[in-house]
Amino acid sequence: MLTLRCVFGSSAKFLVSFPALKHNTRLQNSMSGSLHPLAAVCQVTATPDKEANFSACKQLVEEAKQQGASMVFLPEGFDYIGSSREETLALSESLAGDTISRYTQLARKLELWLSLGGFHERGHDWEADRRIYNSHVIINDRGDIVSVYRKSHLFDVELPEKGVSLKESAFTIPGPSLVAPVQTPIGKVGLGICYDLRFPELSVALQRHGAEILTYPSAFTVATGAAHWEVLLRARAIETQCFVLAAAQVGRHHEKRSSYGHALAVDPWGEVLGDCGEEKPGLVLVEVDLGKVRSTRRNMPVQQHRRDDAFYRSLPQT
């Protein structure tokens, strides 16, 4: 069984309803002696202030470690969210820069894994074109960078009636490829970022390459989040029969931008296990039982029933 809670600062609130306090006490005791690894899915409010952002994320990571997590997931833009194209580019760094160095040191000190869900990485031709990647960086408990996925679907969307206007491609380079799922203490994790969530081909490809957990660190707009966030995350979990862990930005970043929040954990059946809400930073602590992945796939053998790729391309051209 999976158990979890949402933690705001030093206080904790259980997200699963129980009729009596004694159940909460038993659940808390089971968390500290869990038979399965724990993952912490974080919710933050990044601003253009990189130092304040690092301090807030560090506090959440330390809280997660104290609660027994072996891997912590931070959202897209964990390093900062700029108020203009110029500021966004000026604040960017390489993977060898100070921000990632501080997180590798933190991972090594606390002996836990980190998913850094959307780092503003300077492109390989930075001096020539001043463009960046939106990069998902995985750091192991020794402080090594073990995988980097660069966001492949860029958010170029105009929804005037919803007040949404973003053109990520104006300064961001699309990633060249997917990366193989990463073996971590909680299972094999397949990497996406935010807008990638809307492309089921990506999640199915990761599942076919062994993913047991999908992660979509995000900074969803308030309008698109209210309409689509939960239903898309549940759909990706159901179709791949994976856990889905989605760290999120929440609240007002600056005068031009706010995010939806609701950092979410979903199980392979599509059940929402926990939700950090829309008000403030915090984390969801999740016990990941990979037996749920195996039993769901065994009892509902969708992957065995899938036809070969040629079948799905067999419709005549119109």
- 318 falls within a domain: no
In a domain, residue 225? The reply is yes
Burial label, 104 (beta-carbon count in 10 A; 0-12, 13-18, 19+): buried
Residue 302 is assigned to a structural domain of this protein: no
- Angle between the N-to-C axes of helices 98-110 and 50-66, in degrees from 0 to 180, rounded to the nearest 10: 10
Any domain includes 255:
yes
CA distance 153 to 308: 25
Secondary structure letter of residue 196 according to DSSP: G
Q: Which of 6, 57, 194, 276 is catalytic?
A: 194
Residue 188 a catalytic site member: no
Residues 6+ apart with CB under 8 A from 10: 63
Catalytic site residue 242?
Answer: no
The domain containing residue 94 runs over which residues?
4-292
Q: Tell me, what's the pLDDT at 122? A: 97
Q: Is residue 93 included in any domain, yes or no?
A: yes
Q: Which pLDDT belongs to residue 33?
A: 59
Residue 74 located in a structural domain: yes
| Number of domains into which the chain is organized | 1
Please check whether residue 313 lies inside any domain of the structure. Answer: no
Is 151 a residue of the active site?
A: yes
Residue 317 resides in a domain: no
Chunked into runs of 10 residues, the chain (318 residues) has average pLDDT values of 42 29 28 79 98 98 97 98 95 98 98 97 93 97 98 84 75 95 98 97 97 98 95 98 98 94 97 93 96 97 92 88
Q: Parallel, antiparallel, or unpaired: how do β-strands 257-260 and 264-266 relate?
A: unpaired
**Residue found by looking up tokens 């259980």 in the block:** 14
Compute the distance between CA of residue 39 and CA of residue 186 in angstroms, rounded to an integer.
7
- pLDDT at site 6: 56
Residues 267/228, Cβ–Cβ less than 8 Å? no
Q: Which residue, 168, 170, 131, is CA-closest to 153?
A: 168
Secondary structure (3-state) at 174: coil
CATH number at residue 136: 3.60.110.10
pTM metric for this prediction:
0.88
List for the chain the helix, strand, coil content (%; round to 5). Answer: 35, 30, 35
Q: Of 63, 76, 121, 287, which residue is the catalytic one?
A: 76
Question: Which residue in 42, 63, 151, 287 is the catalytic one?
Answer: 151
